[in-house]
Amino acid sequence: MFDLLQKLGHKTLGRFAALGRSTQMLFGALVNKPNFKKGTPLLIRQLYMVGSQSLLIIMVSGLFIGMVLALQGYTVLVGYGAEDSLGPLVALSLLRELGPVVTALLFAGRAGSALTAEIGLMKATEQLSSLEMMAIDPLKRIIAPRFWAGFISMPILALIFSAVAIIGAHLVGVDWLGVDSGSFWSIMQSQVSFQQDIVNGMIKSFVFAMIVTWIALYKGYDCIPTSEGISKATTETVVHSSLAVLGFDFILTAVMFTS
Amino acid sequence: MAKLVKKVMESDLSQSIVEIKDVTFSRGDRIIYKNMTFNIPKGKITAIMGPSGIGKTTMLRLIGGQLKPDAGDILFEGQSIPNMSRKALYAARTKMSMLFQSGALFTDMTVFDNIAFPLREHTQLSEDLIRLVVLMKLQAVGLRGAQDLMPSELSGGMARRAALARSIALDPELIMYDEPFAGQDPISMGVLVKLIKSLNQVLGLSSLIVTHDVTEVLSIADHVIIIAEQGVIGEGSPEQMQNHESELVQQFLKGLSDGPVPFHYPAPEYSEELLGVRNV
């Protein structure tokens, strides 16, 4: 019993220490005088690596999720003669929940794991140490542009995801299953609120972007610089950020959508 | 004139670029150094040698300010490295550079951009001037023709030479080499030995080499420090070290398999263990 308590205490202290180190890393990376001349090219490169290169998986996933959502929604709604409400059903599901959450999960798997592996390998091959020895702070040179790239690109990817998914839903619902196109768009327009649905979905996306990118960068920066350590850190990035996204999604939904 | 030259040489030998003063450093419960003291002379090639796992690379990280000693002081040009502010430490690091064992070239940049990197970060030179400086550095290490290659396209020896070119890009006062000859074929090793010697002479910098390769380093070093048992066990010129009275120094320099550093890892009596296995 005493051993169990001791282990539990040790693990808890370890988690708090890791949280402290990760906060210190993020603080060191973000709190500084901005240098736009040097920072902008680094940010643009990372926006390409983290954002643009995730476009394909986001768009393809969005298309299929929209198509499946329309198919499932139609099957249920047609029983009540309410198939005209397919538009708002799909749009609200995507803008409030599926868009931000699925994008964050895909982003964690595609870009988050890549960030962890890249930084872990930079640590293992002493590139981070060599930056330090060249009097260049790796937090500002390596961590900061990657963090901002993730923070900026994920909400945009979530919007693209939702837009493509709605097109997918239109293809299945209107072009295949015969829902009236005018009803599909007009009821969607009247039921979707910019403030309540789109803005809240964007806020969720920004929160998820911060969480996923922070976890991915910290796991890489703090990993044991061996092949096993990097592999473990990459797996932890995907698992921890997925769980964190789902947990925070519940909290944010409770705050935003319950009156 | 001869007197003047002698005086200059004597003053050179007495000047130190780095002073290690009573440094104690430990990792967890394991003490790496205990009250270690030595100096690294200015303008000379100093070799730090010792058995594996003794903390030679740790010493370079302590001098570079990446680690802090538990006690004692490390002076670089008379300034205390452990007590410096971050800004002062970064300013001091622009005067020193380190050649890492892996080379540590940035894998997403060409050889040219790797060498231009510290110049672009720390100077206001125009791109035309940076190009000239980079080409001069690449010429010095014989890799001008490889400027457009990516690090993954270089052999191990070429990568180390490219990293050497990067480490001299800002004309530092001290270069620290971490196992520069490890894993090199005889030709690459010969090239590196020649480069380290010639760079030291031509650029007038101070070199600190951490290595196991006794023959190579003794051929170019002016000063040798041998570390073992948490401290310095021998220090002097290569000739003095060859004739050193310590058995440990002789075991290390001659590469003897047994001696003060035992061949066998501590274990129970051989016969007892064999009999124990039979009884089981």
For the stretch A24-64, pLDDT in tens is 999 888 887 778 888 899 999 999 999 999 999 999 999 99
Q: What is the pLDDT of residue A198?
A: 93
Instruction: Quote the DSSP letter at residue A84.
Output: G
Q: Render each residue's pLDDT in chain A as its tens digit; 259 residues.
A: 788 899 999 999 999 999 999 999 998 888 877 788 888 999 999 999 999 999 999 999 999 999 999 999 999 999 998 888 999 999 999 999 999 999 999 999 999 999 999 999 999 999 999 999 999 999 999 999 999 999 999 999 999 999 999 999 999 999 999 999 999 999 999 999 998 899 999 999 999 999 999 999 999 999 999 999 999 999 999 999 999 999 999 999 999 888 6
Mutation test of the interface with chain A: which of B58, B86, B97, choosing the one with the most A Cβ atoms within 10 A?
B97
- The partner residue sitting opposite B104, judged by closest CB among A38, A127, A135, is A127
CB-CB under 8 Å, A127 with B101: no
- The partner residue sitting opposite B93, judged by closest CB among A125, A127, A135, is A135
CB-CB under 8 Å, B94 with A125: no
Cα dihedral sign for B112, B114, B115, B121?
A: positive
pLDDT beneath 50: ranges in chain B: 1-2, 4-11, 280
- The partner residue sitting opposite A133, judged by closest CB among B91, B93, B117, is B93
- Asked if residues A231 and A165 have their Cβ atoms less than 8 Å apart, the reply is no
What whole-number distance in Å separates Cα of residue B211 and Cα of residue B48? 7
The kind and range of the H/E element at B22 are strand B16-27
Q: What is the pLDDT of residue B51?
A: 77
For chain A, percent of residues with pLDDT exceeding 90: 83
The amino acid at residue B12 is D
Q: What is the pLDDT of residue A41?
A: 92
Residues of chain A contacting B127 with CB distance shorter than 8 Å: none
What whole-number distance in Å separates Cα of residue B32 and Cα of residue B54? 7
What whole-number distance in Å separates Cα of residue A49 and Cα of residue B75? 42
CB-CB under 8 Å, B104 with A129: yes
For the stretch B130-156, pLDDT in tens is 999 999 999 988 889 999 999 999 988
Q: What is the pTM of this model?
A: 0.84
ipTM for the complex shown: 0.80
